[in-house]
Amino acid sequence: MIGDHAELLLANETFYEAFAAGDVASMDGLWAREAPVACIHPGHNALIGREAVMESWTQILSGGGAEGFHCEQPQASLTDGAGFVTCLEVMGGHKLIATNVFFKEHDRWHMVHHHAGPVA
Amino acid sequence: MIGDHAELLLANETFYEAFAAGDVASMDGLWAREAPVACIHPGHNALIGREAVMESWTQILSGGGAEGFHCEQPQASLTDGAGFVTCLEVMGGHKLIATNVFFKEHDRWHMVHHHAGPVA
């Protein structure tokens, strides 16, 4: 059995795999269904609520994903039932910096917030 | 007695009051001492760990704070012992968008992560 910290990093990895693959179903399964969720896409205002957040992902991923998009330098911090990961989002020569927040629902890490933005 | 949700928003407010007032002691008291903390200043890579994070705040606040700097449209989501707030950071005509993550330590909300960046 792996620990909470490793499971949190795996959930974070699931997010980037779903993003890269354009896998809307996996993305939908990752986002929390009970806690209120939010999402801040680069340069945008916060989307609040599951409907608005999933609508944005469906639109973003409908082009078929982003091959090669991946996460580097993930750093996790967690307490009972919640945690966050900071990481770089890398695709080719482009980088963004991200914060991903997860809560446990039904004993599994679910994403409740994603915030990505520019990094020098 | 106020609820967890209101207390979380008050902790978020404490952050902006400390920022505006240049109050390093209040900022230091707000940040968690047990959980690993992180901080992403606008356009920068993540600072990891309390020492690096507090060093950055001491430097930022040493100029005497930022009068008028405040938070608008805070939206909170929480579970037992952890939560996050998204909000706009406003000063004059300038806006940033932020994510603030809090864990409960010794029955009080403490900041474990701050991520601010540009918003259109």
Residue B113: CB partners within 8 Å, gap ≥ 6? A77, A84, A86, A99, B37, B38, B39, B40, B99, B100, B101
> Would you call B28 helix, strand, or coil by DSSP?
helix
- Measured between beta carbons, the chain A residues lying within 8 angstroms of B36 are 75, 77
Spatial contact of B20 and B66, defined as CB atoms under 8 Å apart: yes
Domain A4-118 has CATH 3.10.450.50: yes
Query: At residue B3, does pLDDT exceed 90?
Result: no
Q: Tell me whether strands A38-40 and A47-48 are parallel, antiparallel or unpaired.
A: antiparallel
Which own/partner contact pairs does B73-76 have at CB distance under 8 Å and 24+ positions apart? Answer: B73/A46, B74/B9, B74/B12, B74/B13, B75/A36, B75/A38, B75/A46, B75/A48, B76/B5, B76/B8, B76/B9, B76/B12
The DSSP symbol for A46 reads P
Work out the percent of chain B whose per-residue pLDDT is above 90: 92
State whether A97 and B38 contact (CB < 8 Å).
no
Given pLDDT bands bounded at 50, 70 and 90, which one contains residue B2? confident
User: pLDDT, tens digit, for every residue of A30-48?
Assistant: 999 999 999 999 999 999 9
- Measured between beta carbons, the chain A residues lying within 8 angstroms of B118 are 43, 117-118
| CA A12 vs CA A16, A33, B27, B50: distances in Å | 7, 17, 29, 23
Query: At residue B72, does pLDDT exceed 80?
Result: yes
**AA letter at B26:** S
- Measured between beta carbons, the chain A residues lying within 8 angstroms of B104 are 79
For residue A3, the model assigns a pLDDT of 86
Nearest chain B Cα distance for residue A27, angstroms: 20
Nearest chain B residue (CA) to A99: B115
**Chain A residues whose C-beta sits inside 8 Å of any chain B C-beta:** 35-38, 40, 42-46, 48, 73, 75, 77-84, 86, 88, 97, 99, 101, 103-104, 112-113, 115, 117-120
State whether A113 and B84 contact (CB < 8 Å).
yes
Token readout for B97 is 């968008």
State whether B40 and A86 contact (CB < 8 Å).
yes
- Measured between beta carbons, the chain A residues lying within 8 angstroms of B75 are 36, 38, 46, 48
What is B47-90 written as a DSSP string?
EESHHHHHHHHHHHHTT---TT-EEEEEEEEEETTEEEEEEEEE
Cα B84 from chain centroid (whole Å): 10
Query: At residue A64, does pLDDT exceed 90?
Result: no
- Measured between beta carbons, the chain B residues lying within 8 angstroms of A74 are none
Interface test with B, best of A44, A77, A97, A103 (most B CBs within 10 A): A77
Query: At residue B65, does pLDDT exceed 90?
Result: no
State whether A99 and B115 contact (CB < 8 Å).
yes
For residue B1, the model assigns a pLDDT of 58
For residue A65, the model assigns a pLDDT of 86
Give the residue from B22, B21, B29, B3 showing the smallest Cα distance to B111: B29
Interface ipTM: 0.97
